[in-house]
Copies of this chain bind each other. A is one copy, B any other.
Amino acid sequence: MRSAIRNTEIIREDEAVLPVVSREVQYSFSVYEALRIINGHVVHLDDHLRRLAASCRDISLVHGFSDDDIQSSLERLIEKDSIKDATARIFIVGGPSPLLFITYADLLSYPDSYYTDGIDVTLYEGERFMPQAKTSNLLMQYIALEEARKKGAFEALLVNRKGEVLEGTRSNFYALSGSKLYTAGDESVLSGVTRISVLKAAEELGLEVIYTPPLASSLSSYDSLFISSTSMAALPVRKVDGIDMDRKQWPIIRKIKDMVRAWE
């Protein structure tokens, strides 16, 4: 059985449990981060810890675990189970007795065909509460993704009341048009750790980043669309709600993906 961390101590994975009677568990008053461990090395740990702290600040979740506590716990877990490649999850529940858990699973990765053939997405009308905080209030994302999967799609993109496509249920979203890359402003979406790399890669490739979210009604007018996340890096979008999108700039998306992975 795998090991895990509870409050900086090593435990068995099946001991990583939450009490049903805890008010904070009942109210989903918790934050998390999902990280890649590659060859025993935690990718972009500082960025993840920074975002974790920002999520806590946003929802006023106070806990006593320092960045050093979390980092050393994670390192201890990697050593204990001789972890090479994995997707790890840091999870903190707030309240009078905050709980820290670190668990891990097989490295989440996708077939090469997703990168060469693209993936299909659906649109879902819904707005996140506190979009910049990475919390466990993910019911909308769960439902939107289930609906997408029922239609054979890989991801659902969330559309706000203005008809703007802001982000996916577990990804950030971008549209390319000529030398311009369009994406929602930082204030309205989750500040993805991989998004930072994507935008840096785009600039290095000479693209101008424009913080205006694409409209759902005009997606087929762009040269190409893609999504990003820690697990995906950058994945080109083939179809939106069953409609073929342009593939003109897929080579650029491939370059962005390679740069994102190279910076790990």
Asked if A59 and B129 make an inter-chain contact with CB atoms under 8 angstroms apart, the answer reads no
Known: A60-B146, A146-B60. A139 touches B27 (CB 8 A): yes
The residue in chain B whose Cβ has the minimal distance to the Cβ of A14 is B19
Interface of A: prevailing SS: mixed
Asked if B139 and A26 make an inter-chain contact with CB atoms under 8 angstroms apart, the answer reads no
Asked if B27 and A138 make an inter-chain contact with CB atoms under 8 angstroms apart, the answer reads yes
Residues of chain B within 8 A of A18, CB atoms compared: 17-18, 20, 25
Bound together, the chains give a CA A254 to CA B105 distance in angstroms of 56
Residue from B29, B89, B101 in contact with A142 in the complex, judged by beta carbons closer than 8 Å: B29
Determine how many copies of this chain the complex contains: 2
Interface centre among A32, A136, A137, A141 (most CB of B within 10 A): A137
Bound together, the chains give a CA A26 to CA B59 distance in angstroms of 17
Asked if B27 and A136 make an inter-chain contact with CB atoms under 8 angstroms apart, the answer reads yes
A143 at the interface (CB under 8 A from B): yes
A28 at the interface (CB under 8 A from B): yes
* 0/1 interface trace, chain A 162-190, chain B, CB 8 Å (1 if under): 00000000000000000000000000000
The residue in chain B whose Cβ has the minimal distance to the Cβ of A128 is B129
CB distance from A52 to the nearest CB of B (A): 15
Residue from B17, B20, B135 in contact with A20 in the complex, judged by beta carbons closer than 8 Å: B17
Residues of chain B within 8 A of A262, CB atoms compared: none
Residues of chain B within 8 A of A91, CB atoms compared: 20, 26
Question: Which residues, 1 to 49 on A, are CB-close (under 8 Å) to B?
Answer: 4, 13-14, 16-21, 24-29, 32
Bound together, the chains give a CA A105 to CA B23 distance in angstroms of 12
The residue in chain B whose Cβ has the minimal distance to the Cβ of A129 is B140
Residues of chain B within 8 A of A27, CB atoms compared: 136, 138-139, 141-142
Asked if B17 and A143 make an inter-chain contact with CB atoms under 8 angstroms apart, the answer reads no
Asked if A16 and B20 make an inter-chain contact with CB atoms under 8 angstroms apart, the answer reads yes
- On A, residues with C-beta under 8 Å from B are 4, 13-14, 16-21, 24-29, 32, 59-60, 89, 91, 101, 103, 105, 126, 129-130, 135-143, 146
Q: 8 additional contacts, CB 8 Å, given A17-B19, A27-B138, A28-B139?
A: A13-B21, A26-B136, A29-B138, A60-B146, A129-B129, A129-B139, A135-B139, A137-B137
